[in-house]
Amino acid sequence: MERFDTAYFDTPQDRRGTGSLKYGTPPAGAPADVIPMWVADMDFPTPPAVTAALRRAGERTIFGYTAVDEGHWDTVASWYRRRMGWTIDQSWFAPIPSVLSGVSAAVRALAAPGEGVVLCQPVYYPFARIITGCGRSLRIAPLRLEGTRCTFDYDAIEKELSRKDCKVFLLCNPHNPVARVWTREELQKLGELCLRHGVVIVSDEIHADLILDERRHVPMASVSEELAQITVTAMAPTKTFNMAGIPAAHLIIPNEELRGKVRDMCWASGLAGWGVASMLAARAAYGESEPWLEGLLDYLRGNREVLYEAFPAGGPIVCLPVEGTYLAWLDCRGLGLDDGSLHDLFLKKAGVWLDDGTMFGKGGEGFMRLNFACQRATLTQAIRRIKTAAGMN
Ligand SMILES: Cc1ncc(COP(=O)(O)O)c(C=O)c1O
């Protein structure tokens, strides 16, 4: 049987010329040997059970419409029960191509044009584009940075929720890019504010399986029955199992009325269902790839230690605690550079392709986001380049 240990994840993968977005054309000024550490996919092979399922699917001779059967949702529900202690009824699930398509449908179903949708920046940048792009009003309640830890600013959140036309709170749990895994207490407090002001929660939990600390992910909808009734959860196996190129996401909506509205919007947007490859890959992921995930998490924890050691508190670049995700939020304010110069230092001088903090909105100034789901040798090389470019050796 294959072992998912350090040697497995250490094996170099050549992704150039495979149509990979991550390894595509870099921004202007990047050296030819630039190391891509930006978009959130991993340089590790997708679990063998998933690739085997896709090979079997490829042997079929007919590719008709796909019915997602009960057995499939049993497998997915069992995953949530085992790993997060959340019991889900089959009727709450809906297949969607991607998490963002589900977030967009939910936002449009639950807030009318012009109505308010609140989010906490810095946050995954497509959220703001979805809200403004579909004509809803973007309301920002910035996170608060206390030392090296980002927290919710409940006063700022309540100020936005209490506005008459505010309809949706868009949550990122765990939070990309600040790598916080929100605690039950934090979610409870946030949820109570939403309940008090009659605002529904759309919770993007795509990073939920990537918890690096020794605790469990808490789904917002599992905090209480009352919160389950106002929460739409968007999830996928795609981040967890490195299969973002396969449309295989799902929504979980316990409340019948909300479910009806969001499903209608999915239909209105032509967003119904999956192809057969999506179903088979998702089932092999949740049903057969747990040992692979445990191996991955161990490896990511090792990479996190390498980053902590390279960029400790008090230095010119500080790696904030990474509780979950494989995205490190680097506080580079100690370098004393403006954001243009910071971009140039990383991309052009160091030759590492990260996402600029400013892409994530308010509070991103002076930060860079580094994707450390790569072979350790690559991470070490990137750190060496960054330190040399920043004069930290
Ligand atoms: C928080 C978050 N949501 C959604 C996505 C994208 O998910 P999908 O490709 O399923 O739309 C990402 C990808 O990085 C993400 O970080």
Task: Identify which of 176, 240, 322 to mutate to test ligand 1's pocket (most ligand atoms within 8 A of the CB).
Answer: 176
Alpha carbon 43 to its chain centroid, in Å, reads 16
Distance 390 CA to ligand 1 centre (A): 31
Does the beta carbon of 271 sit less than 6 angstroms from any atom of ligand 1? no
| pLDDT score recorded for residue 179 | 98
Total number of residues shown for the chain: 393
Distance 313 CA to ligand 1 centre (A): 29
| pLDDT score recorded for residue 137 | 98
| pLDDT score recorded for residue 273 | 78
Does the beta carbon of 96 sit less than 6 angstroms from any atom of ligand 1? no
Per-residue pLDDT for the chain (393 aa), expressed as one digit of tens each? 688 999 999 999 999 999 999 999 999 999 999 999 999 999 999 999 999 999 999 999 999 999 998 899 999 999 999 999 999 999 999 999 999 999 999 999 999 999 999 999 999 999 999 999 999 999 999 999 999 999 999 999 999 999 999 999 999 999 999 999 999 999 999 999 999 999 999 999 999 999 999 999 999 999 999 999 999 999 999 999 999 999 999 999 999 999 999 999 999 999 877 889 999 999 999 999 999 999 999 999 999 999 999 999 999 999 999 999 999 999 999 999 999 999 999 999 999 999 999 999 999 999 999 999 999 999 999 999 999 999 998
Burial of 138 (0-12, 13-18, 19+ CB in 10 A): middle
CATH architecture of 61-288: 3-Layer(aba) Sandwich (3.40)
Q: Among all chains, which residue has been given the structure tokens 């920002």?
A: 140
Q: Which atom of ligand 1 is nearest to the CA of 100?
A: 11
Distance 234 CA to ligand 1 centre (A): 10
Distance 114 CA to ligand 1 centre (A): 25
Q: Which atom of ligand 1 is nearest to the CA of 238?
A: 10
Q: Which atom of ligand 1 is nearest to the CA of 325?
A: 16
Domain-by-domain residue ranges, the chain? 6-47+290-389, 61-288
Minimum CA distance residue for ligand 1 atom 14: 40
Distance 54 CA to ligand 1 centre (A): 22
Neighbours of 129 (CB within 10 A): 12
Task: Identify which of 39, 101, 206, 274 to mutate to test ligand 1's pocket (most ligand atoms within 8 A of the CB).
Answer: 206
CATH architecture of 6-47+290-389: Alpha-Beta Complex (3.90)
Spell out the SS3 assignment of the chain: CCCCCHHHHHCCCCCCCCCCCCCCCCCCCCCCCCEECCCCCCCCCCCHHHHHHHHHHHCCCCCCCCCCCHHHHHHHHHHHHHHHCCCCCHHHEEEECCHHHHHHHHHHHHCCCCCEEEECCCCCCHHHHHHHHCCCEEEECCCEEECCEEECCHHHHHHHHCCCCEEEEEEECCECCCCECCCHHHHHHHHHHHHHCCCEEEEECCCCCCECCCCCCCCHHHCCHHHHCCEEEEECCCCCCCCCCCCCEEEECCCHHHHHHHHHHHHHCCCCCCCHHHHHHHHHHHHHCHHHHHHHHHHHHHHHHHHHHHCCCCCCCEECCCCECCEEEEECHHHCCCHHHHHHHHHHHHCEECEEHHHHCCCCCCEEEEECCCCHHHHHHHHHHHHHHCCCC
Distance 206 CA to ligand 1 centre (A): 6
| pLDDT score recorded for residue 1 | 67
Cβ neighbours of residue 2 under 8 Å, at least 6 residues apart? Answer: 8, 48
Q: Are 165 and 383 in contact (CB under 8 A)?
A: no
Does the beta carbon of 352 sit less than 6 angstroms from any atom of ligand 1? no
| pLDDT score recorded for residue 2 | 82
Does the beta carbon of 172 sit less than 6 angstroms from any atom of ligand 1? yes
pTM (2 d.p.): 0.97
Farthest-apart Cα atoms in the chain, separation = 60
Distance 336 CA to ligand 1 centre (A): 31
What's the N-to-C CA distance of the chain in angstroms? 43
Does the beta carbon of 235 sit less than 6 angstroms from any atom of ligand 1? no
Distance 176 CA to ligand 1 centre (A): 9
